[in-house]
Amino acid sequence: MTEKQKNQLGVLLVGSGSATPMQKITNDQLALRVDTSDEWIRTRTGISERKILGKDQSFVEMCSIAGLQAISMAGWKPETIELIILATSTPDDLFGSAAKVQSAIGAKNAVAFDLTAACSGFLFALVTGAQYLRNGSMKRILVIGADQLSSWVDWDDRKSCVLFGDGAGAVAVESSDNKDHLIGFKLRSDGSRGDCLTLGKTKEFQSIVQQNNFQIGNFDSIQMNGQEVYKFAVREVPAILDELLKMHHIDSSSLDWLLLHQANKRIIDAVATRFKIPKSKVLSNLAFYGNTSAATIPLMLDEAVRDKRIKSNDLIATSGFGAGLSWGAALIKWHGPI
């Protein structure tokens, strides 16, 4: 622990879970709808297929499965959870979906709220939740990252529709008075560059009465300048990771895993090359899910925990980035069930 953290409690990741929809759409299938090809999508992005929520399952159900898996791995009873943060940009209800997940998993004593920071959402939520554990006001929290971007993609826009999928991932996190596995973090926002990736309200107005009007509650599909987002990611992710590693005097050679937001294989490869991290230490499941926004990091973490690649005390450098613009990085150690 650093000097500053000495009077604070530590944070341990003790369970993980994930859920993705049954419905699979391959690149070849997408090519039946838009002018694209499996070869183009794979070579430019690394994506082969994505899972999409259909009629058979809801967003809240998907989040609940991920959450239940995480608390089951942790060995917790749902009623012992004090806080649920659902990182999402695509709730079922604009007033929030976290409370619906809280009810579905029987976490009746937990306060629950949504947090929106697009693809950085999981990292922002993990760091936010950790503060309640550090200051001793809570002992057990559940952090879920989940998105259903398929509802907001223009399925006729080949420049963006090939990239996204739906999914949910969760971690059970608890406080500890003798260990701290959230070694450090850095979070950033820059709204001045946010126009290159938006899911904004349409600018349609209607009259209420006399000269008074209101803005209709409709949203446009996702609008993206892919090249600008790409340049942002390959510039900012290495910079923030570098800052974080230096701040904690950690050399990249001592990392066990690099777990980046799964947006594009070329971005992941560029960051790994920059830090001389061998392929064997780079976690990626992008090929099977595409970019699931706030879900990518916990979804990948859960997969690697369950197939026993990630072991207790492994040091993981993680970084999320996306709309806002928002980005961040954290150094964490996996703990596993106590």
> Could you list the active site residues?
119, 261, 291
Residue written as tokens 């998105």?
A: 147
CB 94 within 8 A of CB 56: no
What distance in Å separates the CA atoms of residue 330 and residue 130, rounded to the nearest whole number?
12
Quick check: 142 binds ligand COA (CB under 6 A)?
Answer: no
Nearer to ligand COA, 236 or 314 (CB): 236
What distance in Å separates the CA atoms of residue 261 and residue 122, rounded to the nearest whole number?
10
Quick check: 227 binds ligand COA (CB under 6 A)?
Answer: yes
Nearer to ligand COA, 118 or 138 (CB): 118
Nearer to ligand COA, 64 or 120 (CB): 120
Among the listed ranges 50-58, 109-117, 140-148, 154-162, the one in contact with ligand COA (CB under 6 A) is 154-162
Please report how close the Cβ of residue 255 comes to ligand COA at its closest, in angstroms: 22
Residue 28 tokens read as 């070849």
Quick check: 322 binds ligand COA (CB under 6 A)?
Answer: yes
Of 230, 239, 256, 309, which one interacts with ligand COA (CB under 6 A)? 230
Please report how close the Cβ of residue 74 comes to ligand COA at its closest, in angstroms: 29
Quick check: 264 binds ligand COA (CB under 6 A)?
Answer: yes
Angle at 308 between CA 305 and CA 314, to 5 degrees: 70
In three-state secondary structure terms, 303 is helix
Q: Which residue is nearest to ligand COA (CB)?
A: 226
Binding to ligand COA (CB under 6 A) within 27-66 occurs at 36, 40-41, 44-45
What distance in Å separates the CA atoms of residue 24 and residue 185, rounded to the nearest whole number?
35
Q: CA 232: distance to chain centroid?
A: 18
What distance in Å separates the CA atoms of residue 260 and residue 236, rounded to the nearest whole number?
12
Angle at 169 between CA 155 and CA 263, to 5 degrees: 45
Binding site for ligand COA (CB under 6 A): 36, 40-41, 44-45, 119, 158-159, 162-163, 224, 226-227, 229-230, 263-264, 291, 322
